[in-house]
Structure 1
Amino acid sequence: MPSWKQVLGVFVFCFGSLVAAVGYVYATAIIPTVNPSTQIQSDVFYWADGSQMASAGQVNRQNVGLSQVPLLVQWDFLAAENSTFYTDPGIDPQGIARAVLNMVKGGAVQSGSTITQQFVKNTYLNQSQSISRKLNEIVISVKIGSRMSKQQILQGYLNTCYFGRGASGVEAAAEAYYHVHASQLTVSQGAFLAAAVNEPSVLMNADSDPKAKALAEARWKYVLDRMVTDGKLSPAQRATYRTLPLPKPYVPASRMTGQTGYLVQTAENYVTSHSSITEQDLSHGGYQVYTTFDKKKVTQLAAAVTKTSSAHLDPKHHAADRNVQFGAASVDPATGAVVALYGGPGWDKGHFTDNADASGVPVGSTFKPIDLAAALQDGAVLSPGQGPQPITPASRFNGDDGIEIKDQKGNYVTDSTDPSGLLHQHNDTTHRWGYISLRTAMEQSVNTPYVQLGEDVGYANVENTAINVGLLRSSLQYNTAGFFIGTSTPSAIRMADAYATFAASGTHYDPYSVSKVVSNGETLPGFTKPNPVQALKSSTADTVTNVLQGVIKQGTGTNAQVLGRPAAGKTGTTDNYKSAWFIGYTPQLSTAVVLFKEDPKHPTLQSMTGVGGYTKVFGGVIPTQVWTDYMTAALAGQPTVNFPAAPNLGTGANEYGAPAPSPSTPPTPTATPSPTATTSTPVCHPARRCGPTTQPTPSGGLPGFPGGSPAPTASPTRKHGHK
C-alpha cells in the first residue's frame, strides 16, 4: 500500500499537471472568427398597417439591440436557461460535472450550458455533439466572458437562437409566433419563446398539437415560477398569468408569390434611390422596410384584374389574347402614398418586370389633361407676333381629321414621312367635327384640337406642367407634335400620381412607397413623407377635374359610371392599339390602369387588334372595367365626397381663324355629340362566351402619332418610373 505521502504527491502532481494543462489551453486558445452564417439576416417588408408582408433572404433573422427586448422578456430567458448569468464566469462547473458524469456512464453528450456557452456554440463553433467541441466551447466561453460585456453576450444569444417556424433570433420569433416586434412582447409571451428554444420542433405547433400545447404550458409555467424565485416577478404579478399565450397559427414567410415580388421590388427601388443604401447592402439583409401598401387594396386590385381578364381574355384558345399584360397603380391624393399596385401575374409565374413601376408604354390621350392644364395656366399664342391668350374649356379648335398643324410662328409643322412634307394630324375616324370646344374634344378624345393647342401653348410650358404634376423628364417624348397626345411613356405609378394632383386641387406630393427603414434598431434618414407643393393653381386643377368628370358622364369613359360616385377620368389609346389606358380618380383615390401586349422573349409592343375579340381595343373598355371593379371595392364604406366647384372661366380665346359662334348656338354645346359606335363581332372559339359587342369608338381614341409614324417600341422593362 502506498503511503499517504505518495498518494498526496501523486494528487499534487496530477492536479498541478491539470492546472498547467488548463492554463496552457486557455493561454493558447484562439477565439475563432464569427461563423458567417450567424450574421446572415433577411430584409423584412411590412404593410402599411405594420403587419409583415414578406421576408427576403436565405435566413429569417433580423438582429436587434438588447434595448429593443423588454427587460422582463430578457429575464424570461435567463430564468429558463441561466439565472446566474450576470454573476457566473461564463460556465457552470456543476452543470459541466453533471454532463461529464453522464458521458462517463455512457449517456448522450449533454449541454450543461450557460447562456455564454450557447452564444459561443451558436456564433463561433459547429453544432456537433463531441467531447472535443465541448471542451473548446468551455475554454472559449471563459475567454469571451472576459472580453465582452454580459449585455453583448445576451444580445448575441437572443439574435442567434433558433426558435422553430423558420425563425432565427428573437425578432423573427416574435413575428413568427405572435405577429409583433420583439419590443412588443409581453412577459408571458417571452416565457413561451424562452421555452421554445429548448424544443423548437415540438413547441412550434403548440397552437394545433395538444401534446405540444401541454408540454409548452408546463415549460411556460416553470419559466414564470423561476421569475418569482429570482425576484423578477412578485407572486401577485405571477398570479395574473393564468393562461398560456398560444401562438398565432403558423404562416410561412412569404416567398414572393403573387404581387409580393413586385411590392418588394418597388420598395427596394425606392430605398436605393432615396438613401445611401445600395442593392448590395440590401442583399446582406438586416433592414426592416415599412411600406405604404394597403394589403386589402392590393388584394382588391389583383382581384379586379383577374376578374376582367377572365371575362375578356382566353389565351388558350385565342392567339390574339396571348402575351396581353396589365399594369395598375393606386395613389392617395392627400399624401402621395402608393397604396396598391398590380405588376403582373407574379414572379412565381416567371414575370419579373413590374408593369406598375416601369416606363415604356405610351400613355396616349391620357396626356391631354396635362395639355389643358398648361393652357389654362400659361395661355396660348393663337396668332403670330401676339402674346399668349387666355384659354378655357370653352375655347374652340378645329376637330376635323387630317388637318395641318401650325406652330406659334404661323409655320406649318413638317413631317418627312408625308408626301406633302407637312404634318396632317389624324383622329381615329374621319368624322367632321368642325370647330369644337376643348371640353368636347376631351370628352370625345378628339386629337386634332389638342395637338394644335399644344403647339400654341408651347413644348416648354407643357413639359414643365407635366413635370410639376409628377412625371419624370426622362419619360417624356417631346421631339414631335405627338408629345401633346401621348407619345410619352411614364409608369402607371407616375400617371396615377399626376392625376392625384388634379384630385388634390393642384397640390402635388411625390409618390412614395416606403415610410420608414430600420437597421440595427435605428431609423435611417431619407424616408420622411414628401412635402406638399402647389404644382397648379387650384382653379386650374379644379377646372381640369370638371372637364374630366364630363368624360365619364357623357364621353369615352361612360363605363366608369358604374362606380356610382363623383369621379373624373380619361381614356387613352395609342397608334395601332399598342396600349390602352384608363386613369381616374375620386377625391380620395387616384388609379391608373394600362393594358398592352408584349412577348417576353421579344420586348416590343405589339398591336392589340383582336384582343378579347375586339377589332379595336380602347381604354374605355377593359382598363375601365378593372378600374371600376377595383375602385368600387377600395372605396366601399367610405363617404361619398364631391369635388370642389370649378370656377367660371368664361368662353376664352379660340384657335386663330375659328368662325364666331352662331347667336343661336352656345359656345359650349349643352348636348355633346355622342360618340360613333362600332359594332364588331368578336372572334369566338368553343371555349369563349362572346357575341356581338358594341364599344365606344370616339373619334379621338387614337393619338395618331405625327405622319402616321408608329408608336415608340420602348419596352416597359427599360426604366423604372417610381424612382
Structure 2
Amino acid sequence: MLGTFFGLCLLAVGAFVALYVLVDVPAANATAKKQSNVYKYSDGTLLARAGEVNREIVDLDVVPEDVRKAFVAAENKTFYQDQGVDLKGSARGLFNTVSGKGKQGGSTITQQYVKNYYLTQDPTISRKVKELVIALKVDRRMDKDDILAGYMNTAYYGRGASGIQAAAQAYYGVDAKDLDLSQGAYLASLLQAPSQYDWAIASATGKKLVTERWGYTLDNMVEKGWLDDSERAGMTFTVPREPRAAPGMEGQAGYLVEAADEELERQGVSEEAREAGGWTITLNIDKQRQKELEKAVDRQLESQLDREGNKIDATVQAGATSVDPTNGEVVALYGGVSATRHWISNATRRDYQPASTFKPLVLASALENRSKTQSGSLIGLDTVYDGTSRRPVVGSDIPFKPQNEDGRSYGDISVQTAMDRSVNSVFAQMVVDVTPSTVKRTALDLGMPDKGFPAVPSITLGTMNASTWDMAGVFATLDNHGKKVNPHIIKSAEHRDRVAKPVDGTGGQAISRSTADTVTRSLTGVVDNGSGHEADSAAYDAAGKTGTSENNKAAWFAGYTPELTTVVALYGESAEAGGGQVTLTGTANSGRANGGGFPARIWADYTRGALNGGSAATFDLEDVEHGESGITQAPVTPPARTGEPERTQPPGTEPPARSPSRSPTRERPSAKPAPSRTTEPAPSASTTPPAEPTDPAEPTAPVDPADPPDERPGRGGDGPLGQ
C-alpha cells in the first residue's frame, strides 16, 4: 500500500511536470485586449465612448497607491509573496467543480488574471488545470505590478464596465486616478459578486455583505501595515452614484465622433487601429459653444417646423461648422437632428452646392491678380458693372447670361452694391474678366475641395459641391487676413502605443492681407446693408455672405466676426427611400428659404451665445482696394420684360452712395456681457414679416430708403442659380 501511494504520488508529479512542459502561455484572448475609444470635449469632460467593450486600459501608476493595495487586500493578501497559485484554493475549486457545487473560490490575483486575459470563464476541469500551470509560468515571467495592472484592467465590475477606469466612471463618475481609498475599497470588494454587490440594485442582504467586505478589505490593509488604525476608524462607506447610460451616439455626439474618426483616418490611423480601441481622443469642441449652436438651431428652425405634419418641413436638413479663425479649431458642429435618426452628417456632406457664398472668392481672385474689366479698369469695391439681369457676358467663349433674383435689373452698380445684393450678372462678368481658371486656382488656395469642378463661367454661382466644413475653412482664411486656415476637430489623440500627429491648423499666406481685408470690408456691407441683414447686430462686428442654390435646394449663410467663423446651411433632402435633393421653398410656410433667412438667423443667435452675449472686437482691416470707377463696357439694353423695374440711375453714373462697411463710430459693447438675449432677442421670422412678394415663391425685398418706392431691388439680388 505504501508503494502504491508513493507510486501514485510520483505519477501525479510526473503528470504535472509533463503538463508544465506541454502547456504554453497562450496569446491573449480576443476580448481581453479590446477597449473602447474615449472621446472628450476640449475641457476634458466625457463626450462619448465607442467600442464593443467598455474598457480603457490604464497604467498601474495612474491608480492611487492605496487603491492598488485595497485590491490586493481584498483578493490576495499574500500576492507579493506567493508563487502565483493557491494550491488549497485550487484544490477546493476543482472539488467544487467536480461535485457540482458551483463557482470556484480562493484563486490568487495571478490566477484570476490568467483566467481573464488568456483563457475563458468556462468552469471546466481542463480550464482550471491550465489556469494553474499558466499562472505558475506567468508569475515567473512577469513583474508582480504588471500582473496586478493586468488584473485590474481585465476584471469585470458590472454596469457594463470592464477595467478599473470604466468602473471608476460607472460607479463614481471620476477617472481611476481620482479614486479615493473608500471608493477603491468598494470597487475591490465588488469583484467578488458584481451583480449582487451593485449598490443600486442590491438587496438588503447584498448591501450588508458588500459593506462587510469593504470593511474586511480595509482591515486587511491595517493588518498589512498599509493603513493606520486611526484613519481606518474614521472612514465611512462611500455610496456609489445611480447607474447612468454610457454616453452614446445619439444627438450630436455621433456626428462629432464621426468627424473625429475621419480626421484620424487622414492622419494615418487606420479603421482597423481605431476599432482595436484604446484611443483617448480630445476634441477641439467647446462644450458651451456646442450647446449654443444646438439651441440656436432649435430656436430659429426646429421650433418652427412641423416635421410630422408637413411634407416640406420633413425634408429640411440643417448643418453647421464653427471655427476659430486664429488656429483652425472646430469649436462647434451641427450634423442634423440626431446621428441615430439621420445618418449623414450635414456638417461634412459634400453633395450640395455652396451657391453665392462662392462670390467672395471671385472678388478675392480679381483683387489678388489685379484683374481688370473689359474696358481696362482695375477691379475693386468701387468698380462699376452693369447689373442687368440675363445680360450676356463679354469675352467668354462659353455663352453665359444668368438671371438675377426675381429677374431684377440694377443698371450700373458698384462691386460693393453688387455684393450686398448678390447680383448674379455682375459676378458672371467678373469671373470672365478674371478668367475661370484663375478664379478656380484662388478658390483651391483658399481651401475649396478639389473635386474636379470645371473652370467655366458658371462657377461664379457656386455650382461645385462643398460642405459647411469646407466653406468654414475658406471664410476663416479670409477672417485670418488671408493666412490659410485648416479646420480640424482633434486636439489630441493618444494611445498606449502611439500618439496621432496633430493637424497644423494654419498654413502660409493663401492670398495677400490686402486682398483678404478688402473682401472682408465688402462682406461687412452684406451684413449691414444687404442680403445678410438678418445677421446684423450691435453685439458684434460681422461680415458674411448668403447663398441659395438652383431651385432652392440649399440655403447658406457664411459669416464671421474677428473671433469666430461659422457657416450654416439648410438642405432639401427627400424623406422618401433613396433620398434625393428637393426644394426648400415653403419651409415653415415662409416662402423661399434663402440664405438670408433661417441660416442667417441661426448664425446670429449662435454667434451672440458663443461670444457670451457680444464682443467689442472689430475687424483690423488694412489696404482696402477700391479699384477704379467707370463703366466696364457699353451698357447692354435688355429685352423688354413684363414687370422688370427700370434702372435706378442713368448709364455711366454711380447709384446713391452706400457705406461699404460699418461706420467706425458705430457703438460696440464695451465688455462681453453686452446685450443679453432678454434685451435683444434673437431675430425670427415673426420679427421681420415680409411684404407681399412679386412671386409667391420668392422672398420680399428689404426696404432701402435710398431707392424710390417703385424701384426697390429684390432681396439680395440672387437668381435661380445661387443667391
The question of a shared fold, defined as TM-score above 0.5 by the shorter chain, is answered with yes
Residue 511 of structure 2: SS of its match in structure 1?
coil
Native 8 Å contact 1:207 1:213 kept in 2: no
Letter of the structure 2 residue corresponding to residue 195 of structure 1: S
Q: 2:243 aligns with which of 226, 250, 256?
A: 250
| Alpha-carbon distance in 2 for matches of 1:381, 1:448 | 17
| Alpha-carbon distance in 2 for matches of 1:218, 1:99 | 24
Native 8 Å contact 1:516 1:523 kept in 2: no
Report the counterpart of residue 62 of structure 1 in structure 2.
56
Q: 2:364 aligns with which of 362, 373, 377?
A: 373
Deviations 1:12-54 (A, max 9, x none): 3443343334334434445455322223222222222212211
Residue 433 of structure 2: SS of its match in structure 1?
helix
1:534 aligns with 2:524: no
Q: 1:355 aligns with which of 324, 346, 350?
A: 346
Residue 336 of structure 2: SS of its match in structure 1?
coil
Report the counterpart of residue 496 of structure 1 in structure 2.
472
Native 8 Å contact 1:45 1:288 kept in 2: yes
Residue 334 of structure 1: SS of its match in structure 2?
coil
Shift of 1:677: 7.0
Report the counterpart of residue 669 of structure 1 in structure 2.
657
**Structure 1 vs Structure 2: percent identity of aligned residues?**
37
Report the counterpart of residue 320 of structure 1 in structure 2.
312
How many aligned residue pairs are there? 671
Report the counterpart of residue 387 of structure 2 in structure 1.
399
Instruction: Map residues 85-484 of structure 1 onto 2, 5 A cutoff.
Output: 85-96=79-90, 108-131=102-125, 133-205=127-199, 218-233=212-227, 242-275=235-268, 277-349=269-341, 351-383=342-374, 390-406=378-394, 411-415=395-399, 423-474=400-451, 477-484=453-460
Q: TM-score, normalised by structure 1?
A: 0.83
Q: 1:179 to 1:48 in 2, by over 3 A?
A: farther
Residue 153 of structure 1: SS of its match in structure 2?
helix
Report the counterpart of residue 524 of structure 1 in structure 2.
499
Deviations 1:202-235 (A, max 9, x none): 4444699988776655544443443343344556
Shift of 1:441: 0.8
Native 8 Å contact 1:610 1:682 kept in 2: no
Shift of 1:591: 1.2
Native 8 Å contact 1:207 1:249 kept in 2: no
Q: 1:211 to 1:496 in 2, by over 3 A?
A: farther
Q: 2:540 aligns with which of 531, 545, 565?
A: 565
Q: 1:534 to 1:414 in 2, by over 3 A?
A: closer
Instruction: Map residues 668-687 of structure 1 onto 2, 5 A cutoff.
Output: 669-670=657-658, 679=692
| Alpha-carbon distance in 2 for matches of 1:667, 1:230 | 92
| Alpha-carbon distance in 2 for matches of 1:578, 1:103 | 69
Shift of 1:194: 1.9
Letter of the structure 2 residue corresponding to residue 403 of structure 1: R
Q: 1:42 to 1:589 in 2, by over 3 A?
A: same
Instruction: Map residues 585-596 of structure 1 onto 2, 5 A cutoff.
Output: 585-596=560-571
| Alpha-carbon distance in 2 for matches of 1:443, 1:96 | 83
Q: 1:246 to 1:529 in 2, by over 3 A?
A: farther
| Alpha-carbon distance in 2 for matches of 1:334, 1:226 | 56
Shift of 1:151: 3.8
Shift of 1:694: 5.1
| Alpha-carbon distance in 2 for matches of 1:538, 1:380 | 17
Native 8 Å contact 1:429 1:700 kept in 2: no
Q: 1:213 to 1:566 in 2, by over 3 A?
A: farther
| Alpha-carbon distance in 2 for matches of 1:170, 1:130 | 27
Native 8 Å contact 1:572 1:618 kept in 2: yes
Native 8 Å contact 2:356 2:547 kept in 1: yes
Letter of the structure 2 residue corresponding to residue 323 of structure 1: T
Q: 1:245 to 1:373 in 2, by over 3 A?
A: farther
Residue 168 of structure 1: SS of its match in structure 2?
coil
Instruction: Map residues 38-53 of structure 1 onto 2, 5 A cutoff.
Output: 38-53=32-47
Q: 1:127 to 1:607 in 2, by over 3 A?
A: same
Native 8 Å contact 2:360 2:519 kept in 1: yes
Q: 1:414 to 1:662 in 2, by over 3 A?
A: closer
**Which 5+ residue runs of structure 2 have no aligned equivalent?**
636-648, 661-687, 703-712
Q: 1:695 to 1:453 in 2, by over 3 A?
A: closer
Residue 692 of structure 2: SS of its match in structure 1?
strand
| Alpha-carbon distance in 1 for matches of 2:401, 2:50 | 53
RMSD: 3.6
Q: TM-score, normalised by structure 2?
A: 0.83
Letter of the structure 1 residue corresponding to residue 359 of structure 2: K
